[in-house]
Amino acid sequence: MSKIIVLNGQSLFDIALQQYGTVDSVFRLAEENNIDNITDDLIPGTELIINENYKSKTFENEILKESNLKYVTVSSGQNLFDLSLQEYGSTEGVAQLAKDNGINSITDSINEGTQLIIDRNKIINANVVNDLKNKNAIVASRIKETQEVNSGIGYWAIGIDFIVS
């Protein structure tokens, strides 16, 4: 399962066609996301669950090739600034990335696994993008929680950590 963010003006039919290759899959998409009425307006920025098992890879690849768009899946620890640097080669693209994906604020957190649309026509620094790609690097600035190191008098060893005189 992955997630996508609803863009301004998108309908459930648009997303079903885009993600699954047929408008008939709108019912499956509605069911997966607990949407009662398939004609309801979607709120931009809403995350929808996409079941990868039902995606039409051939259809998706053709659409993306023609439009010069691609999807990127958010990795652990990534925010919009990280993705902008990774995909556009500069943090200058963060506002456009947010706008293209219906995200209201550039500081909004994004869940791991969410799919965002990247417009390859908007690359700012191709050298940075290519360098990161060649190194298989993922830009992620959020620090993961680390295990606390035990310290203090209860964990010190006499004669090693301190000397009694």
Tell whether the model's pLDDT for residue 60 goes beyond 70: no
Residue 157 counted as domain residue: no
pLDDT value of residue 100:
83
Residue 164 counted as domain residue: no
Residue 70 counted as domain residue: yes
What average pLDDT does the structure give for the chain? Answer: 81
Residue 45 counted as domain residue: yes
Could you tell me the pLDDT band of residue 44, with boundaries at 50, 70 and 90? Answer: confident
State how many domains the chain has.
1
pLDDT value of residue 83:
94
Which amino acid, one-letter code, is at 89? G
Task: Summarize pLDDT for 61-94 with one digit per residue, the tens.
Answer: 555 555 677 888 888 889 999 999 999 999 999 9
pLDDT value of residue 150:
67
d(CA 156, CA 21): 63
Residue 159 counted as domain residue: no
Q: Which domain holds residue 77?
A: 2-134
CA 117 vs CA 18, 99, 103, 114, 135: distances in Å: 12, 10, 11, 10, 22
Residue 144 counted as domain residue: no
Residue 81 counted as domain residue: yes
3-class DSSP state of 155: helix
Task: Summarize pLDDT for 88-134 with one digit per residue, the tens.
Answer: 999 999 998 888 887 888 888 888 888 888 888 888 999 999 999 89
- Which residues touch 30 (CB under 8 Å, ≥6 apart)? 12, 36, 38
Spatial CA neighbour of 29 closest among 43, 48, 3, 7: 48
Residue 91 counted as domain residue: yes
